[in-house]
Amino acid sequence: MKQHLHMITLGVKDFKRSVEFYSKTLGWELSGASQEDVAFFQAGGAVLGLYPREKLAEDAKVSPEGDGFSGVTLAYNARSEAEVDGIIADLKSKGVMIVKEPQKVFWGGYSSYFADPDGYLWEVAYNPFFPFDESGNLNLD
């Protein structure tokens, strides 16, 4: 298997609420490939998908039950501490649950966390050690 991530799909409890959160609250553009019960957002070189939790679990042949920390976080890397602050202030003004206020962190960066309507955690971080390429993607090599 090639070392490449193409898509992340989140199983969501309330599909319409989640689509509204990502499209209206975060301001992401819904892809034309979206359908009645699946939504897609182009996210740089990858795609974020939203699909009803029960249907996603059924497709994977697993139980849809689960609670607490899933062991997974999603991340948006900002270009500065000020950008992190601005994003979190905007989300806070829209009523988004901020899990961790922006702060300097042990690894030398600056980060904050917010939760989407299903409790999926998003980190908004400035990492001075991760450069962006000309397309705005992280380039670790």
Q: Give the domains, in start order, of the chain with CATH numbers.
A: 1-64 (3.10.180.10), 72-141 (3.10.180.10)
Mention every residue, 6+ apart, whose C-beta is less than 8 A from residue 61: none
CA neighbor of 135 nearest in space, from 67, 45, 51, 50: 45
| Nearest partner of 70 among 112, 115, 103, 125, judged by Cα | 115
User: pLDDT tens digit string along 62-107?
Assistant: 788 876 777 789 999 999 999 999 999 999 999 999 999 999 999 9
pLDDT at residue 2 in the model: 79
- 34-40: long-range contacts, CB 8 A cutoff, minimum separation 24: 39/15
Tell me how far apart the alpha carbons of residues 88 and 25 are, in angstroms, rounded to a whole number.
12
Q: Could you tell me the pLDDT band of residue 38, with boundaries at 50, 70 and 90? A: very high
Look at the pTM and tell me if it is higher than 0.95.
Answer: no
